[in-house]
């Protein structure tokens, strides 16, 4: 077992050494997907902008929250939710969709995970152009508290990495996991504070406390809104990252040689 763990740790080291390769593959995926499009991935940004504006105008009146407060929270929350939801949706089939690489050559499986995560992060960056416009329109100016976004986003990405790895391994073995995750993502959208504000249900609500997406959004949305994330968000998100990374790494160490047979 120790030898298997060492091999898994070597794969992690190799990912850091192959960071440029991961970035190239992620960018190549985006170029291939939109190679005949004039606007490219900005179609995603346009559709997201239309959705946020339409939903923001209607829901701000339904919830009786000023548009200047509701719309920026919705826009920022939906930006990061899009990355989280896309990552979760891709996770169960991450190894299945790359079976040609895995079967035909010796490839570090973790590179495939980082490739997908990097691709979703790049899409988040160009979608952020619209969010900048929303913040400027509602006079949300840069502030020193926004620096907390950097470590917060790193923690969220760490959590998404182990989630994608764990679900990727389980999805390769159990094909029913994909529709289960797709259904779960839809439920998470409605029970997470994306289209509604946390204050509307109360800070002590179990809907917030038992939902990890709440803490991920707090780490990424609060700094942009010039409001520091709660200390509980830092602690819980870090604990999830450490525990989840350990569990997924052990599972990967034990099953890494069997994945090629499952797909």
> What confidence score (pLDDT) does residue 38 get?
62
Check if the beta carbon of residue 85 is closer than 8 Å to that of residue 190.
no
Which residue is listed with tokens 């509602």?
Answer: 138
> What confidence score (pLDDT) does residue 251 get?
92
pLDDT, one tens digit per residue, over 87-134 is 999 999 999 888 888 887 888 889 999 999 999 999 898 889 888 888
> What confidence score (pLDDT) does residue 65 get?
87
What DSSP string describes 45-73? HHHHHHHHHHHHHHHHHHTT--HHHHHHH
Of these ranges, 11-15, 63-67, 247-251, the one predicted with the greatest mean pLDDT is 247-251
Q: Where are the domains of the chain?
A: 2-262
> What confidence score (pLDDT) does residue 262 get?
87
pLDDT, one tens digit per residue, over 24-46 is 888 888 877 776 666 666 777 88
Structure tokens at 188: 């998470």
pLDDT, one tens digit per residue, over 15-26 is 888 888 888 888
> What confidence score (pLDDT) does residue 138 get?
87
Residue 1 binned pLDDT confidence (cut-offs 50, 70, 90): low
Which pTM value belongs to this model? 0.91
What DSSP string describes 140-187? ----GGGGGHHHHHHHHHHHHHHHHHHHHHHHHH-TTHHHHHHHHHHH
Check if the beta carbon of residue 122 is closer than 8 Å to that of residue 27.
yes
> What confidence score (pLDDT) does residue 41 get?
65
> What confidence score (pLDDT) does residue 6 get?
77
Mean pLDDT score, 246-256? 91
> What confidence score (pLDDT) does residue 2 get?
65
d(CA 188, CA 7): 35
pLDDT, one tens digit per residue, over 172-229 is 999 899 999 999 999 999 999 999 888 888 777 888 888 999 999 999 999 998 788 8
Q: Where would I find the H helices in the chain?
A: 2-17, 19-33, 42-62, 67-90, 99-104, 109-137, 149-173, 177-191, 206-209, 212-224, 231-255, 259-262
Check if the beta carbon of residue 109 is closer than 8 Å to that of residue 259.
yes
CA 46, 48, 52: angle at the middle one, nearest 5? 120
């Amino acid at each position: 077992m120790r030898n298997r763990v060492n091999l898994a740790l070597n794969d992690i080291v190799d990912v850091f050494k192959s960071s440029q390769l991961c970035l190239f593959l992620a960018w190549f995926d985006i170029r291939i997907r939109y190679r005949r499009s004039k606007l490219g991935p900005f179609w995603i940004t346009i559709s997201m902008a239309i959705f946020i504006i339409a939903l923001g105008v209607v829901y701000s009146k339904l919830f009786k929250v000023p548009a200047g407060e509701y719309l920026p929270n919705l826009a920022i929350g939906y930006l990061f939710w899009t990355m989280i939801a896309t990552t979760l949706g891709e996770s169960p089939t991450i190894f299945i969709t790359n079976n040609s690489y895995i079967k035909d050559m010796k490839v570090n499986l973790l590179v495939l995970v980082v490739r997908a995560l990097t691709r979703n992060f790049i899409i988040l960056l160009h979608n952020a152009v619209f969010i900048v416009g929303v913040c400027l329109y509602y006079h949300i100016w840069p502030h020193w508290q926004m620096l907390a976004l950097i470590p917060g986003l790193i923690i969220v990405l760490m959590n998404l990495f182990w989630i994608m790895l764990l679900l990727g391994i389980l999805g390769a073995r159990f094909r029913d996991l994909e529709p289960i995750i797709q259904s779960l993502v839809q439920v998470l959208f409605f029970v997470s504070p994306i289209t509604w504000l946390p204050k509307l249900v109360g800070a002590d609500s179990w809907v917030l406390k038992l939902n990890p997406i709440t803490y991920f959004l707090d780490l990424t949305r609060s700094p942009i809104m010039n409001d520091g994330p709660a200390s509980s968000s830092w602690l819980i998100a870090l604990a999830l990252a450490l525990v989840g990374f350990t569990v997924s790494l052990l599972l990967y160490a034990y099953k890494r040689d069997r994945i090629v047979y499952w797909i």
